[in-house]
Structure 1
Amino acid sequence: METFNNNEHPHRRYNPLTDEWILVSPHRSKRPWQGQNEAVSTNALPEYDPECYLCARNQRWNGIQNDNYTDTYVFENDFAALLEDEVQDNTPQSDLFQFKPERGINKVICFSPKHNLTIPEMDLEGIQKIIETWKAEYIELGSKDFINHVQIFENKGSIMGCSNPHPHGQIWAQSSIPTQVEKTQKSLKNYYEKHQRSLLKEYVEEELRRKERIVSENEHFVVLVPFWAIWPYETLIVSKRHFGNLTQMTQKEILAFAEIIKTITVKYDNLFQTSFPYSSGIHQTPTDNEEHPEWHFHMHFYPPLLRSASVKKFMVGYEMMGEAQRDISPEKSAEILRNLSDIHYTTKAF
């Protein structure tokens, strides 16, 4: 009988954050690719686009003109998925047919007035400004009595459904705690009540001891490929100190958070020497006015690229009918990312 090798043999891994399993099939990464290849854009974007509805001073579809902003710029989404108005519903409910009205506020955050700039190409001061804006919006939206969760996220690249290349992210604040966050909260709470310790605090300490999946770290944060990662180059930023949300960060931690965001996004771009697409999002304490000692601040990055700038991972077939599956092992993808330069490939110093 062969000895198990996690870079060669199929196996399942447990995700303690969501109480789910994933199938890992590392031997499949050797198979030839004859599937779909995504178009890779080689067009250089201008610093200002008069047709872009996110650029400074430009008019949006509803006639509102953007401010002449110089760093971040926030406005309520013109095509919001959630509405703030309260509605009353008296429809009879049943076990099989349940629904309820959902209130919320959607906002757009422009990261910079420069149309052709992305986070890995920004300086640390610019990224710090984004974090400070996230913090301010978390406080403002979370203070509303009907908002119980504030989801901050970014979709980067057309492959992730981003309809405008201008550097921006979104915030969806709503009256319910969404499904993925609720799963995470349940797991964090169960672990905290059992051990009186943060699940992610203990997880990060063990990852730092093993050093198998660490991509980079600084004094306050770690970026790693999770043991249970689904996407080929998925990463997780976790604070070394146990705290729940952006409001509890020190100024040193804000700077360190900016540094670690820049580090991983630069490595992403360097991997295939392209503007690397991803969906990223912050998971932090709900704003439901309850105590949440179980929550530990973290940020997910879910990039779809698999083996080049034009080949992506699809979630189909078994993944839709059975469970999530990945080919390259998390240890191998962490090694690849770890060994990449921290200097952006477009600079002369690369």
Structure 2
Amino acid sequence: MTERRFDPTRNEWVTFATHRQDRTYKPKADFCPLCPTKSGARKTEIDRETFEIVTFDNRFPAFSPTAPEPGVSSTQFHPVAPANGRCEVVVYSDDHHLTFSDLTSARVRMLVDVWVDRWKVLGSEDDIAYVMPFENKGEEVGTTLSHPHGQIYGYPFIPPVPLKELTTAEDYFEKNHRCVECDAIQGELHDGSRIVFQNNFVVAWVPFWARYPYEVHVAPKHHEPNLATLSDEVRKDFADALLRVAKNYDLLFGFSLPYIMGFHQSPTDGDMRWNDFSHLHVEFTPPHRSADKLKFLAGSESAGGAFISDVAPESAATLLRERWSTVND
């Protein structure tokens, strides 16, 4: 079964993709489907012996350009729709043992170009309203393949979290004639206490309202609605900032830190008004609150949606900066 069902109590879609129960689950390294196919060996998803970056359609997609008709009837109260869209895998390297933080600056810069290209291609499809690249790193956040990779989803709707950000940003823009993310970034640059890293065009910081103990956002300092609007020089700084955050995380507790990395940007539904108040940013949300403790989304967070954090944002930013300076002085 692959279909979307509408929840009228929350005004949002829920997708069912029951075939994903059968997807590859924690294979051994010598059976990794994301490794290159070696001569005389079992064929993997990537039929070549070496590569730099590869993208391909997920074999177990939640959304598909050829989605089947729903298995239940749609009613006025219970709308049902096909799960049209796209799900792609982006493999960062042919080296199974690397992580994003191990990549070279040149490779991450190349990866930014790949994300831009896929945003354009997927976003041009009629069924896709929102394109979100993301990476799940580590078993703690549900990763089932350890090879360095991310994913790109092309949704037939704007997902709830970006939609809430966008509608809030629209309200702010109508009242203040400014982008709320631009104002937030300028406030962080002025204060400085929560800045983790910055270069000429991009800044990484722990938000004043961080929901996760070591949450970090990365964004252009000046207004950019989406990946495709970035100039070459901003793309370079964007790549450097993303890589720096990932390296900082690995220094934080002395091990390769799990995280979710998600891209928030303007929708691709053809409505150009989003560009006025949509500001491209990447959110890193690690599950750890200390070296040996995880931040579980328990009653208040899961049932109520009200986050309670264990670490002050200023302390988190200070610790991330200090770990870097200790190693690189």
TM-score by length of 2: 0.84
Q: 1:317/1:61 Cα in 2 relative to 1: closer, same or farther (>3 Å)?
A: farther
Equivalent of 2:262, from 281, 295, 308? 281
How far apart, CA to CA, are the structure 2 residues paired with 1:196 and 1:311? 43
Q: How does 1:194-343 map to 2 (within 5 A)?
A: 194-291=175-272, 292=274, 293-308=276-291, 310-322=292-304, 323-341=306-324
**2:36 aligns to what?**
56
Match for 2:321: what amino acid?
Answer: R
How far apart, CA to CA, are the structure 1 residues paired with 2:85 and 2:245? 31
Q: 1:142/1:207 Cα in 2 relative to 1: closer, same or farther (>3 Å)?
A: same
CA contact (8 A) 1:102 1:176 kept: no
Q: Which structure exhibits the higher relative contact order, with contacts defined as CA atoms closer than 8 Å and separated by 6 or more residues?
A: 1
Structure with greater proportional helix content: 2
How far apart, CA to CA, are the structure 1 residues paired with 2:300 and 2:69? 41
How far apart, CA to CA, are the structure 1 residues paired with 2:204 and 2:73? 47
Q: Give the alignment's Cα RMSD to 1 decimal.
A: 2.3
| Between 80-89 and 158-167, the greater mean CA deviation after superposition | 80-89
How far apart, CA to CA, are the structure 2 residues paired with 1:324 and 1:278? 17
Match for 2:282: what amino acid?
Answer: M
**1:144 aligns to what?**
125
CA contact (8 A) 2:35 2:46 kept: no
CA contact (8 A) 1:107 1:172 kept: yes
Percent same amino acid among aligned pairs? 30
Deviations 1:100-147 (A, max 9, x none): 333111100000111111121211001111111111111111111111
CA contact (8 A) 1:55 1:166 kept: yes
Residue correspondences, number: 297
TM-score by length of 1: 0.79
Equivalent of 2:60, from 79, 104, 129? 79
Q: 1:118/1:146 Cα in 2 relative to 1: closer, same or farther (>3 Å)?
A: same
Match for 1:57: what amino acid?
Answer: T
Shift of 1:189: 1.2
How far apart, CA to CA, are the structure 2 residues paired with 1:81 and 1:221? 33
CA contact (8 A) 2:62 2:83 kept: no
Shift of 1:262: 1.3
Q: How does 1:32-111 map to 2 (within 5 A)?
A: 49-57=29-37, 65-85=46-66, 91-95=73-77, 97-111=78-92
Q: 1:65/1:260 Cα in 2 relative to 1: closer, same or farther (>3 Å)?
A: closer
